[in-house]
Amino acid sequence: MIYKVISKSEFRKFIDALVRQNTSFGPRQVDRNTADEPIYQFMPVSSVDDIEFDYTLTTSSAKHFFLPFRDQLSRFSFQNSDFEQHVAYEADPVVLIGLRPCDISALNILDDVLLNGRYPSPYYLAKRKNTFVIGMDHLPLPDCFCKSLAHHTVSTGFNLFCSDIGEKYYLSINSSKAFTYLEEFQTEEPSCEDNCLMTRRRKLISESFRTEVDVTSLPSILDIEFESPVWDKWGAKCLNCGTCAMVCPTCYCYSVDEHFDIDLKGASRNRQLYSCNLVDFAVVAGGHNFRPKNGDRLKYRYYHQHRGFAENANQQICVGCNRCGRACLTGINPKAVINDLRMEKESCMTCVSPSPDRT
Ligand code: SF4
Ligand code: SF4
């Protein structure tokens, strides 16, 4: 990693040049919610003035640039009694500006699943390697809990990361491409004062979290609480809409379907993001549904986020952005569900009689 500082005016020139020369996306206000707060999303930008650098958090995550909601995996063309399959892995270069540390951590987790596993996804790889990621730090929202999962800072997974130290940005340069782009702009080695400001900035961010979720031993608590009534309680509220998984930066479950052209001369195989909360997620051929109850479906989303992956890859895949909690129409959120599970466990512990006095 190489560290530099850049004045904010020079930074704007750098970003402006970058977005004018490349297909770029950055945070933009798209609407206001019922509480009259701005709603931000990653949208196309063509100049630095389009970008809201002081945005809070986007409602959807940046995952959709790498895992589109619907993606064509291949095309088939039929001739006589034979067919040809056409597969394209290319992706156009894209610049993504303004990802928060938890968003970048989420990409690192998707990398583990989709690149570092036994069957790497060439579709994901093409998009990931052609995307120039610029991260930016921020003060957490009152309900962010990424610090509880140690995702409030990030040191890999981006090309360039910018920390706001007042008059300047403190740049962490993590790729030769970022270094080359920046060579045409005026940057400096960080001074002792800049390093001090950077340390203060990190401390301020760390001390600004208002929400904490205790995730220690959560994978084993989930094992113990498999039959807990907590799942029925929260499941009764769930609308099975799948919104939580759609906005989540790390939910990656998908379905695959095939469509024939109306003239039967061609067909396509498509991948579509899916959610384990949807009613038909566990339906198999013959119509049997392995998870017919709301509570079971909700439970499996939490098991995937906090247990299954932790067992295989030694980390929970939730990054603590609370997008799912904000988007859920019935108020189901990780903090409330996890706290309920902990209380279940603790009340069990208090039920256990103390060890008999051996004296
Ligand atoms: S967003 Fe809420 S209601 Fe919709 S599926 Fe997720 S938990 Fe259920
Ligand atoms: S807080 Fe919710 S949306 Fe964010 S990573 Fe965790 S499960 Fe996904």
The pLDDT value given to residue 347? 64
Integer Cα distance of 178 and 160 in angstroms: 6
Domain span at 178: 2-63+90-207
Q: Are residues 46 and 180 in the same domain?
A: yes
- Residue nearest (by alpha carbon) to ligand 2 atom 7: 318
In a domain, 355, yes or no: no
- For tokens 């103390």, the residue is 354
Nearest ligand to the CA of 102 is 2
Q: Are residues 281 and 198 in the same domain?
A: no
Ligand 2 pocket test: which of 318, 326, 338 has the largest number of ligand atoms within 8 Å of its C-beta? Answer: 318
In a domain, 316, yes or no: yes
Percent of the chain with pLDDT over 90: 84
Residue spans of the chain under pLDDT 50: 352-353, 355-356, 358-359
The pLDDT value given to residue 258? 93
* pTM attached to this predicted model: 0.92
In a domain, 293, yes or no: yes
Report how many domains make up the chain: 2
CB contact burial 291-330 (16+ within 10 A = b; e otherwise): beebbbbbbbbbbbbbbbbbeeeebbbbbbbbbbbebbee
Q: Are residues 37 and 177 in the same domain?
A: yes
Which residue, of 186, 207, 228, is where some domain finishes? 207
Residue 249 CB–ligand 2 contact under 6 Å: yes
In a domain, 260, yes or no: no
Q: Are residues 158 and 52 in the same domain?
A: yes
Q: Are residues 164 and 244 in the same domain?
A: no
CA distances, 301 to each of 57, 66, 134, 247, 297 (Å): 23, 21, 30, 13, 7
Q: Are residues 290 and 193 in the same domain?
A: no
The pLDDT value given to residue 88? 87
Which residue, 107, 161, 152, 306, is CA-closest to 219? 306
CB–CB of 169/160 below 8 Å? Answer: no
Q: Are residues 190 and 294 in the same domain?
A: no
The pLDDT value given to residue 356? 47
Q: Are residues 141 and 199 in the same domain?
A: yes
Integer Cα distance of 42 and 134 in angstroms: 13
Q: Are residues 225 and 158 in the same domain?
A: no
Q: Are residues 203 and 222 in the same domain?
A: no
The DSSP bridge pattern shows strands 131-136 and 94-99 to be parallel
The pLDDT value given to residue 58? 96
How many other C-beta atoms can be found within 10 angstroms of the C-beta atom of residue 185?
16
CA dihedral 147, 149, 154, 159 (to 10 degrees): -120
Q: Are residues 312 and 276 in the same domain?
A: yes
Nearest ligand to the CA of 238 is 1
Ligand 1 pocket test: which of 238, 253, 304, 323 has the largest number of ligand atoms within 8 Å of its C-beta? Answer: 238
In a domain, 287, yes or no: yes
Q: Which helix (H) or strand (E) holds 125?
A: helix 122-129
Residue 334 CB–ligand 2 contact under 6 Å: yes
In a domain, 78, yes or no: no
Integer Cα distance of 71 and 14 in angstroms: 33
* Ligand 1: centre distance to CA 332 (Å): 7
- Residue nearest (by alpha carbon) to ligand 2 atom 8: 248
In a domain, 290, yes or no: yes
In a domain, 354, yes or no: no
Q: Are residues 227 and 289 in the same domain?
A: yes
